[in-house]
Amino acid sequence: MNVLERLRHSFAAATPEGGDAAAFAAAVRPSTDSKFGDYQANGCMALAKSLQKNPRELAHRVAEAVDLAPLAATPEVAGPGFLNVRLVDSWVARTLEDLIVDEALGIVPPARPKTVVVDYSSPNVAKPMHVGHIRSTVIGESLARIFAALGHKVIRDNHLGDWGSQFGMILWGWKNHRDEAAFATAPVAELARLYRLAQAKIKAKEPNVEDATRVETAKLHAGDAENRALWERFMPYCLAALKDVYDRLGVKFDVELGESFYDPMLADVVADLEAKGIAQVSEGATVVFVEGTKAPLIVRKRDGAYNYATTDLATIKYREETWQPDEVLYVVDHRQGDHFKLLFAVARRWGYERTDLEHVAFGTILGTDRKPFKTRDGDVVGLESLLDEGVAEALKVVQEISPDLEPEQHQRVAEVVGLGSIKYADLSQNRQSDYVFDWKKMLAMNGNTGAYLQYAYARIQSIFRKGEITPESIRLQRPTIALSHPAERALGVRLLRLPETLELAALELKPNILTDYLFDLANAFSSFFEECPVLKAESTERRNSRLALADITARTLKFGLDLLGIEVVDRM
C-alpha cells in the first residue's frame, strides 16, 4: 500500500459512527501547502453537516481515535475542522533508505492485476499522419506505460482505419490519375497525392467523383478482386510509413487489428442484434435506439453497408472473447463523444456489461492564434515535419544552454529534448481541454516543460560526475538518510509519492497528474540543491545522505519521464 492508501485506511477505520467510511477516506489528500502538513483529512466538515454535529469537535474525536503509527503522529485540528497530518521524519527517512535499493521505487504489484486494452493512435491509413494524431498516440502510450508500471496487463491495440471511405478515394484516384513512376519511387507520397486529389475534387463538387469513390469503397467491401488486390498492394507501404513515425516516437503496439480485420464478422453482429430484438429496421436502415439520446446507433445503412459503429461492436465482442479485459480505453478525440456514448450503451444491452469501456477524450491542438493548428498556407500540419521542427527548435536551445557539448552531442540532445517537449506539452495539459501549440513555451528551460525536467535529471548526473562518485557506489553503501533541513525533508516526502501519483493518474486516466508530480519534484530538488550543499556537505555521512536523495530523485525523474514516453540524457 502506498502512503496515501495507508493513511486512508487508517482514517476509514476511525470514521465516526453513522459516517460513510469510503467517503471519509477519500477526503484524505496530499496537502497543497506544507503549512498544513503533508496530508490533510478534510472529511469532517461534510460529515458534521450530515450528522448535525460540530465539525471541530468531530475532528478532535477523529484525531484521538485515528491510529496513523508508524507513518504519522496524532493529526492536528485546524480551521473549521481540517485534520493536518505530518509524516514522522524518522519514518520518512527509513522508508527512503529502502528506496535507495528498490528498483521499483516503492511500487508494489497489485493483488489482482487488471487486463487493460488501450485503443489508441488508430489513424486512418493512406492519409499521412497529421498533428491531430499526436494526442491519441502520446496520451494512449503514456496510459499504457502507467498501467504496465503499476503491474497490470496491458494490450496496446492500434485500431487502424484501413477499410473506410478514404480507400475508395485512393482506389478511384489510382484508376484515374495515377503516376506509376512516382509510385515506384515514393509510394506513400503518391497515395497521399491521390487521396488529396480526390478530396479536392469532391470538395469542388466535380460531377460524379464522390459517387465514384463510394462505388470503389463498396466494391472493396464486396470482395471485388481488383480492388482487393490493390488494397493488399498499398497496405504494406502505408503500414511501413506509420511504423517510421511510431519508431521515432518510441511507440510499439501489441496488436494492430484494423477495421478490415473485423469486416468478416459484421453481418453476424447485425444478425445477432436483430435476433435478440436489440436492433430494428427503421427507414430502411438497421438501428438500435438508446434511451435518452437523439439519434439511434446505425449498424447497417440503407444501402446495406456496415459502418464504423458496426465495426466497433464487432471489436468489443472480439476483445471480450480474446482477452476478457477489465477495462478498454478508447483514446479518441472528444468530438466522437456521442458515438462512444451510444456504442457503450448498445454494448451493455448486447450483454457486454462486465467490462469498463471508457472514452478517454481529448481536446484540440490550437495555434498561437487560438484557432485549430494549421501551417501558414492553411494545411493541416504533417506529423513528421512537426517532429523535425521540434528537433530543430530544440537544437537552438541546446546550443545556447550548453555551448561546450560536441556537435554530435548537440544533435542527440536536441532529438531527445525536441521530441520530449512535444510529448510533454501535450501530456501536461488536462487532456479534456484544448491547448495552444507554442514552441517558445514548450522549450522553456524554466517552467513546467519536458526540457526543465530533463535538465534537472542531467544536473543530478553532473553532481555525481563532478564528485567522481557513481550512483551505484552510493546505493551499495546504503547511507543513513538524515532530514535535518526543511528542504531535505520536503524533497524526501515527495519522493515517497510516486506510487500514489501513478495510482491516481491511472484512476483518472490523466497523465497530467504525473507531469504535475514530476514538476513539483523537480522544484523540490531545485530548492534542496540551492539550500543544502551536497558535495561540500559538512560531513561524509551528510554528503552521502544527500547524494542518495539526489540519486532517488534522478531515478524517479527518469522513471516518470519514461512513463510519458520521454527519454533523458546525462549531459545537456
Tell me which residues touch ligand ARG (CB under 6 A).
119, 122-124, 159, 161, 312, 315, 330, 332
Angle between helices 511-531 and 486-495 (to 10 degrees): 160
The b/e string for 514-542 (b: 16+ C-beta within 10 A; e otherwise) is bbbbbbbbbbbbbebbeebebeebeeeeb
CB of residue 555 vs ligand ARG: minimum separation in angstroms? 35
Among the listed residues 268, 300, 251, 23, the one whose alpha carbon sits nearest the alpha carbon of residue 134: 251
CB of residue 515 vs ligand ARG: minimum separation in angstroms? 24
CB of residue 330 vs ligand ARG: minimum separation in angstroms? 5
Q: Tell me the three-class secondary structure of 265-301, residue by residue.
A: HHHHHHHHHHHCCCCEEECCEEEECCCCCCCCEEEEC
CB of residue 315 vs ligand ARG: minimum separation in angstroms? 6
Nearer to ligand ARG, 330 or 424 (CB): 330
Nearer to ligand ARG, 44 or 170 (CB): 170
Find all residues with CB under 8 Å of 17, minimum gap 6, and list them.
Answer: none
In 402-496, the DSSP E strands lie at 435-436
Grid coordinates given for 511: 497523465
Q: Which residue is nearest to ligand ARG (CB)?
A: 161
Three-state DSSP class for residue 507:
helix
CB of residue 214 vs ligand ARG: minimum separation in angstroms? 18
Nearer to ligand ARG, 248 or 339 (CB): 339
Among the listed residues 128, 563, 142, the one whose alpha carbon sits nearest the alpha carbon of residue 362: 142
List phi, psi (to 5°) of 273: -65, -35
**Residues 168, 195: contact at Cβ < 8 Å?**
no
Nearer to ligand ARG, 123 or 565 (CB): 123
CB of residue 133 vs ligand ARG: minimum separation in angstroms? 8
CB of residue 134 vs ligand ARG: minimum separation in angstroms? 13
Nearer to ligand ARG, 175 or 348 (CB): 348
CA atoms within 13 Å, Cβ hemisphere of 337: 7
Nearer to ligand ARG, 302 or 335 (CB): 335
Nearer to ligand ARG, 159 or 423 (CB): 159
Grid coordinates given for 548: 542518495
CB of residue 332 vs ligand ARG: minimum separation in angstroms? 5
User: Position of cell 481536446?
Assistant: 363
Whole-number Å distance between alpha carbons of 274 and 346? 12
User: Position of cell 459516517?
Assistant: 19
List beta partners, residue 15: none
CA atoms within 13 Å, Cβ hemisphere of 454: 31
CB of residue 261 vs ligand ARG: minimum separation in angstroms? 12
Nearer to ligand ARG, 332 or 554 (CB): 332
Nearer to ligand ARG, 132 or 467 (CB): 132
